[in-house]
Structure 1
Amino acid sequence: MFARPHGLICIILAFTICVVRNTAATKLSPDVTALWNLRGMAKCKLHLNALAYNNYGCWCGVGGCCKPIDPIDDCCMHHDKCYEAAAAEGKCYRFPFAYFDPYAWRCDHGTIICGDNRSPCKAALCACDSAVVNCWARYHRPLGKPRCRH
């Protein structure tokens, strides 16, 4: 017969259902929910997809280590450290759960404005994401994706 699902699979499924249900109940647009926030902020401020920075250097993307290769990579390192600080201070759950906590923000003519995020986690995540996009805005768009040299 079939094996019973492992506990982790059940937890992930239950969590996903709660996120989807919460998103549907509050009628948030895709640009103000969890993983889509950074994408939307990059579109707002930079007029490009945040994926342009994925797998760039040592820090942009999943994980991170070593010394950043350049200022863009440094922005990503600070973003990772910002999320880590929010978790360490008890404002948010640890990775990857913080990435699924939707928060409110809006775009006003290229300016990112965090909304009324009543939880400390939502406020921290919005601040982290807007900070990395504002940091990226100080530099030219990456034309390639240099790899970590460490």
Structure 2
Amino acid sequence: MFARPHGLICIILAFTINVVCNTAATKLSPDVTALWNLRGMAKCKLHYNALAYNNYGCWCGVGGCCKPIDPIDDCCMHHDKCYEAAAAEGKCYRFPFAYFDPYAWRCDHGNIICGGNRSPCKAALCACDSAVVNCWARCHRPLGKPRCRH
């Protein structure tokens, strides 16, 4: 049914993210899980929701391939590769479940501060998410969602 064994996991993850984001986000604090941490970081720095980047280009959203279509997509590619590096370096072992691993951070007047993360995985995830939001801040806010041309 799926070309790759992890295809089903990606579909389940995407579905779960969509359901949780749309039904439970208003009931949960932004720092409940890593996904909410990224959402909260975007609100802190960008003043809008990180879902603006979901399904943008070749790298923003589930999966990723090819050459990024623009600087926004490049930010997403580096974010994916940052998570991959955390796994390759042995800091995180539970992918894709690491996306739901909560970590400590705070917003200080529009600046994202990672801290208090005792595990190397939580520290790495916080650094990756902070880096992508700071990267997005250097780009324009997406007005549409261009698709990957590859």
Divergent runs of 4+, >6 A? 1-28
Task: Give, in angstroms, the shift of residue 101 of structure 1.
Answer: 1.2
CA distance in structure 1 between the aligned counterparts of 2:44 and 2:83, rounded to whole angstroms: 21
- In structure 1, list runs of 5 or more residues that go unmatched: none
Is the Cα contact below 8 Å between 2:31 and 2:40 reproduced in 1? yes
TM-score between the two structures when normalised by the length of structure 2: 0.80
Task: Give, in angstroms, the shift of residue 15 of structure 1.
Answer: 17
Q: RMSD of the TM alignment (CA)?
A: 6.5
Is the Cα contact below 8 Å between 2:10 and 2:62 reproduced in 1? no
Range moving further from structure 2, 109-118 or 12-21: 12-21
Is the Cα contact below 8 Å between 2:105 and 2:115 reproduced in 1? yes
- The percent of aligned pairs where both chains have the same amino acid is 96
Task: Give, in angstroms, the shift of residue 111 of structure 1.
Answer: 0.2
- In structure 2, list runs of 5 or more residues that go unmatched: none
Q: 1:118 to 1:6 in 2, by over 3 A?
A: closer
Answer with 1 or 2: which has the greater Rg. 1
Is the Cα contact below 8 Å between 1:86 and 1:124 reproduced in 2? yes
CA distance in structure 1 between the aligned counterparts of 2:104 and 2:133, rounded to whole angstroms: 16
Range moving further from structure 2, 129-138 or 18-27: 18-27
Match of residue 46 from structure 2: 46
* Alignment coverage as a number of residue pairs: 150
Is the Cα contact below 8 Å between 1:57 and 1:146 reproduced in 2? yes
Is the Cα contact below 8 Å between 2:75 and 2:135 reproduced in 1? yes
Is the Cα contact below 8 Å between 1:58 and 1:68 reproduced in 2? yes
